Chain A
Amino acid sequence: MPKEIPAINSPQPLAAESLYNHCDASAFAFGTTAELAELDIAVGQQRALSALEFGVRMTGDGYNLFVLGPDGSHQRRIVKEYLESLRTEAAPSDWCYVNNFNDERKPIALRLPARKGATLKQDVASIVDELLAAIPAAFESEHYRNQVAEITQEYEEKHRATMEALQQEAQQHDVSLVPTPHGFAIAPMRTGKLLSDKDFEKLSDKEKDRTTTAMEAMTEKLRAHIEELPEWHKQRRERIRTLDREVTELAIRGPFVELTAAYRKFPEVLRFLEDMREDVLAHAPDFQPEETRQTLFGADPSRSLQRYQVNVVVEQPEDGGVPIVYESNPTYQNLLGRIEHVPQFGALVTDFSMIRPGALHKANGGFLILDADRLLTEPYAWTSLKRTLFEKAVRMESLGQQLSLVTTVSLEPDPIPLDCKVILLGSRVLYFLLCELDPDFQELFKVAADFENRIDRTDDNIQLYGRLIATLAQREGLLPLTPRAVARIIEHSSRLLGDAEKLSTRLRDVSDLIRESDYWARRVDSDTVHAEHVQVAIDAQIHRLDRLRSEMHEEIQRDDILIDTQGTRVGQVNGLSVIDLGRFSFGQPSKITANVSIGDGKIVDIERETELGGPIHSKGVLILSAYVSATFAPETPLSFAASLVFEQSYGGVEGDSATIAETCALLSALANAPIRQTLAVTGSMNQHGTVQVIGGVNEKIEGFFDICRTRGLTGDQGVLIPADNAKHLMLRADVVEAARNGQFAIYPVATVDEALALLTGIAAGQRDEEGQFPEDSINGRVEKRLIELAELRREFDHAKKDETESEGEST
């Protein structure tokens, strides 16, 4: 039992039973968790699940989802499991890109039923193989070669006949006609022999004229024939080209008729096949054997047939159902796809076959899950996603082109219509920031699925939680747990939450504890996880992160940091703070002191003055100033100066959980009433002196307890906490044991008066009917001191005024 203090209506310490909410293992009706069936891990998330269901089923623009909640809630897994339950719905379309024969820079998108894309690809590849055989065969056929030969021979015969006629005419006119390396030579002849220059000179003028005229005429005729030749060549080529087209058309007719029939229900595919057919007709030589094809600078001849391929960018899997895609790395390219390039002769080239899909393509017709923070940190990913959702189409564009960094020719593929729900996973802070700062966000993400941080610790929920623990263990192939182990985990869940009446939904912490308990159980060759293994796991977790607490504890023990746990002090109180190290928090006492002197009513918050105090802390100090002003000397100006400080604190102070402590220190200084250093106090306060709830109450209590225990518990030590924090208590077993044994006490206080009474052992005092506090009460002594200080101030002011006036008269 704690030592008695004067009976002044001070609150009684809390019973040991109320310091920890045990979970009764006997309430579980199983031997081990192996007997329990798996459970949907979305326990207690009805709000979020109903929002999910609504968002998923709601049609209309902008009904994408943002899933928010505490980290570690397994939101992604829960969302995926929920969506998996919808996979019975029919799979969406396959999507393919094919060459646009009219403009290769603009590949065409084809939509096909699920799993038909691969069939089309195979069918087109097959027809190309068929054409690779059929077209060369057609051109090697006797029929074709005969026709080409006929055409060629026709022109050869024309040429030969013309040359023969010219030859005869030349002979008739005594002109010789012979071929030269670059054409034809003509020269005059007589009697079948060449006419030499000398013999020519001997001819008569008439003969010379005749010869010259004949030469000129033959020259012109030859020239005329030579000028005809290009036109003949052209005609021959045209006729052969026409023949080629006819032969090709005949060769490809059968395969294309068959293929067209197979896709008669798909107009877009039919259009593609028709364009392909026309292209084949125009490029029949591309189907010739490689060795006969001419290629430019040794380019790969097989690439020319690649333009008939089908690039299946989205293919629905065999097992069907709507796609559920989680993109863990939501870069611009991973979301919208990319267009690859290959080097060729020093330049980068691309075509439709190098279009690669992104997550939006793969999720089309289904769901895309993204981590919001990752999405927002990737350059251009967020803006591009929004644009895509607004346009309801996935448009592929290289970032380089968008930013005008790259000027190589790239592609402009047909945009693919998008019908997809995007589900962002993120923190609440991010959600509200987006709501506030991005006007597009609320247009596009109208549904918020808010995950609970906690559920009520009811009997039903305890049973569910037990099954949840069983499910988490079974899914990871861990050892089964005993009911006591499950109970211990449930208790720890409340402790992590800092609330004896709630259970945490941060499944990550629970999963980690289950895994680590499994580890410790296996270490001792146990085939079941018992409560002691869970405790070892908890202790080990703390121990791994406990270094700083140990160091600071040591500093206090060594008086490097001065904390009193015995005796009394005026204007000094043990406050309590929590140091948060991420996965571990611990409490630590801080000495809070107050000094007062004559002044003009200002309370100096030294933390704030030195910019070590945060705004919430400053708010607390201002509240206590207002309380003092309103409570004491309501009709008298305050004439004191006070200062408050957290002694030996150099790292910054935030929060208002020390307001009660600061108020008590100040009033102690004003009333000159010593405060018991065996007690620590924590609590926020409003302007009327009501004590308000604070956070980290368990850590704070344990922090002071640890110091007291190390020095030796005296039986009169304890902690004052806000009364409304009693329901949050999940204290360590050693603290509860000490309380049970009367060695340490937890006092719930509802007002600053109650706190003062406990700390000073003197009643705080209430105003009587005449508005006076009892003289010996704390409040009475404070008020009396304030009046004294006001009197002193007036006297000082008068004296100063007189002095000033007399100085003025003498000058």
Chain B
Amino acid sequence: MLIDADDKRRAIIVALDPAAPGSAGLELLRDVAIEQSCKLLGLFIEDTELLAHAQSRLATEVMLSGAARPLDFTQLERQLNAQSLAIRRIFEREAARLGLPHAFRTLRGQLVGELAIAAADAEMLVIELAQLATGAPSIWASQLEQLCRTDLPNVLYAREGWTTGSTVLAIIDEAADVETSGRAAASLARAGNSSLTVLLGERSQSHEAEVEAALRRHSRDAVVRVERLRAASLGAHTLAFLAQAGNARALVAPAHLTRSNAGLVRELLRLTRCSIMIARSAPKN
């Protein structure tokens, strides 16, 4: 169902990448969107930094065929336009197939900056990540660190691994994380009919009872299992191991972990197959 892109209803922003035309994120969020009455807003951002390159006569484009040519602005604009049309078609088709209200918009600006502005009031931001198999360069893969540093709502890095896995894994490092990563994970588990596995870091283990009670409230009918982590630190390897061992569909971590570890998301993406959500704020129920 196409909707007005300026509609101020609760929106889930999907940062579209021509190199990742799949629907892993949409599949993952379908039930969340329906439950929370959200609309989908697909965004394709034309990178002004790229366009600025094209204004230099020295700029060169090395194509995937191996040939090199001067970077032509007009031609680049046409290519971006064509990409926008193509990715719009795919997005609208997949959204319609899933029965989700949706809209599409093309923006021009600095990638992360424009995304941050567009996602400012959004419920969630979804970033589809490309796989090597597609061959085309990914526009978001190179922006991961900047995305982690930017103030964004919950960000879901969607992966094919969502289609398997039996549980949503939530990391609760501090007691307050129950309202960020815990709540977000519960929402995903509920919507995806998965169980919820909660890993309590050492700092939150003293509040285990309250945490568990809060999580059961958030997760409603979802099965909840709480485990205590013995690890000294919640590094990427530890979390990745736990995600693999627990057969996780998604791993939800609080945003403050990425502030202390800028490469955490990249490492988690490298070490796991599941989707990674970085929860920043309490989602609106």
Contacts and interface: CB of A to CB of B under 8 A. Distances in A.
A binds B: yes
Contact of A181 (B18, B68, B131, B273): B18
B164 interface: yes
B22 to A, nearest CB: 14
Contact of A187 (B56, B247, B270): B56
Interface stretch (A155-163, A527-535, A765-773): A155-163
B210 interface: no
Interface string B64-78: 111010010000100
Given A146-B244, A185-B53, A187-B71, A219 B18 contact: no
B117 to A, nearest CB: 20
A223 interface: yes
A182 B63 CA distance: 5
A185 B139 contact: no
B283 interface: no
Interface in B206-228: none
A180 B247 contact: no
Contact of B273 (A146, A188, A222, A229): A146
A45 B59 CA distance: 108
Interface SS of chain B: mixed
B50 A178 contact: yes
A188 B270 contact: no
A159 B83 CA distance: 23
Nearest to A153: B270
Interface string A219-250: 10011001101001100100000000000000
Contact of B64 (A185, A196, A226): A226
Contact of A233 (B50, B71, B133, B244): B133
Nearest to A216: B60
Given A152-B132, A178-B50, A219-B68, A184 B56 contact: no
Given A152-B133, A179-B137, A233-B135, A197 B58 contact: yes
B47 interface: yes
Contacts of B164: 140, 142, 145
Contacts of A176: 53
B36 interface: no
Contact of B63 (A152, A160, A183): A183
Contact of A236 (B76, B83, B132, B244): B132
B79 A182 contact: yes
Contacts of B137: 179-180, 183-184
A155 B56 contact: no
Contacts of B56: 187-188, 194-197, 200
Interface residues of B, number: 42
B138 interface: yes
A184 B132 contact: no
B62 interface: yes
B58 A156 contact: no
Contacts of B55: 196
Given A152-B131, A187-B58, A180 B68 contact: no
A124 interface: no
A471 interface: no
Given A146-B273, A152-B133, A160-B141, A178 B53 contact: yes
A200 B59 CA distance: 12
Nearest to A167: B142
A215 B58 CA distance: 9
B47 A178 contact: yes
B16 interface: no
Contacts of B60: 185-187, 215, 219
Given A145-B164, A156-B131, A159-B132, A179 B64 contact: no
B78 to A, nearest CB: 9
Contacts of B131: 152, 156
B58 A157 contact: no
Interface in B61-106: 61-66, 68, 71, 76, 79-80, 82-83
B61 A184 contact: yes
B266 to A, nearest CB: 8
A133 to B, nearest CB: 17
Contacts of A226: 62-66
A227 B66 contact: yes
Given A194-B53, A196-B56, A180 B61 contact: yes
Interface string A276-302: 000000000000000000000000000
A178 B247 CA distance: 36
Contacts, number: 115
Contacts of A152: 131-133
Contacts of B28: none
Interface string A117-161: 000000000000000000000001010011001001101110110
A185 B131 CA distance: 20
Contacts of A159: 132
B58 A188 contact: yes
A211 B58 contact: yes
B54 interface: yes
Contacts of B57: 197
Contacts of B65: 183, 226
Contacts of B4: none
Given A178-B47, A181-B82, A142 B59 contact: no
A214 B273 CA distance: 37
A97 to B, nearest CB: 41
Contacts of A227: 66
Given A185-B54, A195-B56, A179 B142 contact: yes
Interface in A652-710: none
A805 to B, nearest CB: 127
Given A194-B52, A229-B135, A223 B62 contact: yes
A185 B50 CA distance: 8
Contacts of B49: 178
B153 to A, nearest CB: 25
A155 B83 contact: no
A702 to B, nearest CB: 95
Given A146-B273, A215-B60, A181 B80 contact: yes
Contacts of B136: 181
Contacts of A167: 142
A380 B1 CA distance: 67
Interface in A399-434: none
Contacts of A181: 18, 76, 79-80, 82-83, 136
23 contacts: A152-B133, A153-B273, A156-B132, A156-B270, A157-B270, A176-B53, A180-B137, A181-B79, A181-B136, A183-B63, A183-B65, A185-B50, A185-B59, A185-B71, A186-B59, A187-B56, A187-B71, A194-B52, A195-B56, A223-B68, A227-B66, A233-B135, A236-B132
Interface of B: 18, 47, 49-50, 52-66, 68, 71, 76, 79-80, 82-83, 131-133, 135-139, 141-142, 161, 164, 244, 247, 270, 273
Closest 8 CB pairs of A and B: A179-B137, A187-B59, A183-B63, A181-B79, A222-B62, A156-B132, A187-B53, A149-B273
Given A157-B270, A226-B65, 15 more contacts: A155-B132, A156-B270, A163-B142, A179-B139, A180-B71, A183-B61, A185-B50, A185-B60, A186-B60, A187-B71, A188-B56, A194-B53, A197-B58, A223-B68, A236-B133
